[in-house]
Amino acid sequence: MFVRTLILGGGLTGITLARLLHQRGQQVTVLEAEQSIGGLCRSRTENGFTFDTGGSHIIFSRDTEVLQFMQDILGSNKEKRTRNTRIMFRNILVKYPFENGLAALPKDDLFFCINEFIKTYLKAEKGEIPPPANFQEWIYATFGRGIAELYLIPYNEKIWNFPPASMSAHWVEGRIPRPPVEDVLKSAIGIETEGYTHQSVFSYPAEGGIEALVTSISRGLEESILTGFPVRSLAFRDGVWEAGDGDRTVTGDRVISTIPLQHLLPCLDEVPREVQNAVSALRYNSVCCVQVGIRGSVPEISWLYIPNKEQGLANRISFPSNFSSHVAPAGHAAILAEITYNKGDSVSRMTDDQLVSHVIDSLGKMGFLSPDQVVHTAVDRQKFAYVVYDLAYTTHIRIIREYFRNRGITLVGRFSQFEYLNMDGCIRQAMDCVRAL
């Protein structure tokens, strides 16, 4: 049967869905609120610099099918790099992940980490550690007090802008691997070990930033994508779905939504109060991306985690000119600082100029630049950036998904499924969705 599919949202998930359905002979219409596609995977090029506007992205995956899809889509427009990631621990650059760089720590800190790790490991082997009730308990139960208190707790407090003790632990398994005890012991005495090996080699578009990936996926679909179409109404009438932006109406036989639940719900009539309350209760973070272009070079670091609040607001600094040789002019380098925030907090009240000044000052104190090197700055803010799993998350998301399943609206992607999905996870969901349809 010939089916017309309306896809709400033209980010990575929506465009991938459109491509896969189009390849199966389906008619698709993508409705994107912004004037360009890409969502969190958009990039901007100014003054010869290209930055990703939704935070630093790289191409890697344990999922071989998804990884091959991304690699094939980019074709020759990609460069391959070996990960060289660090953690700024006080003023020491420690290898990432932290448990694989323990030998760089001062002796007292090293002993604290390894002693607590071994004690925790032995307790776990004896079955003396109860199942963790929250994310903070999971960190302590997995890594011990040393690694937890020196790095993981302060870093996670910073990136989530939310107490780890108030976060669920259900999402961690598979995302943060439990370190092999042999690797931790080796790292403590200075024997090189490698964690998170699935991202030890990554790719990145040679030109165009991460948006080049979405643009490549969208080739051949241009006539099926409506940009500047914010969906404001969605209804099922006389056997068809009608999506409207206030002026225009588009119809289809089925709807797949990839837009945030907080945007989807107001489009619908007669939503039960229980569902409205559940969506209102979902927590998320916004991200501010401060872009700095400089004359000169940067260290050969891929990206850098900064757990200490005293060293700046940014939780992560990346160096895009180490991802691709085409994202900065010759003789220049690119630095991207990511700062998570929530509406009403101190970061949300800072102006762009204040954020730029703060980041340049922080980078200067860490030794990555001097102010007279700066030749380009810009700031981008993304309202929906990170899903935050609070302790009530599983209750709320069950109510929401059951409601949309009963209304016949398929939810796919990071802020529609409301799951902390990386790019490969979004593509995997799109693939699975199309196969299920």
Residue 200 three-state SS: coil
Instruction: Indicate the range of 41-45, 182-186, 360-364, 413-417 predicted with least confidence.
Output: 182-186
* Mean pLDDT of the residues in the chain: 96
Residue 433 three-state SS: helix
Whether the Cβ atoms of residue 306 and residue 312 lie closer than 8 Å to each other: yes
pLDDT in tens, 313-344: 999 999 999 999 999 999 999 999 999 999 99
Calculate ∠ Cα 229-230-235, nearest 5°: 100
Please give the Cα distance from 159 to 389 (Å, whole number): 13
Instruction: Indicate the range of 12-26, 77-91, 190-204 predicted with least confidence.
Output: 190-204
Q: Which domains, and CATH codes, for the chain?
A: 4-39+210-282+390-436 (3.50.50.60), 97-195 (no CATH)
DSSP conformation letters of 139-179 = HHHHHHHHHIIIIIHHHHHHHHSS-GGGB-STTTTTTSPPP
pLDDT of the residue at 298 = 97
Instruction: Choose among 56, 14, 5: nearest CA to 412.
Output: 14
Alpha helices in 52-165 (DSSP H): 64-74, 107-125, 135-147, 153-160
Q: Is the pLDDT of residue 2 over 70?
A: no
> pLDDT-derived band of residue 195, with 50, 70 and 90 as boundaries?
low
Tokens representing residue 293 in the block: 């272009």
Whether the Cβ atoms of residue 384 and residue 340 lie closer than 8 Å to each other: no
Cis? peptide before 97, omega within 30° of 0: yes
pLDDT of the residue at 1 = 42
> pLDDT-derived band of residue 3, with 50, 70 and 90 as boundaries?
low
Compute the Cα dihedral for 211, 212, 215, 217 and give only its sign. negative
Segment 175-194 shows an average pLDDT of: 84
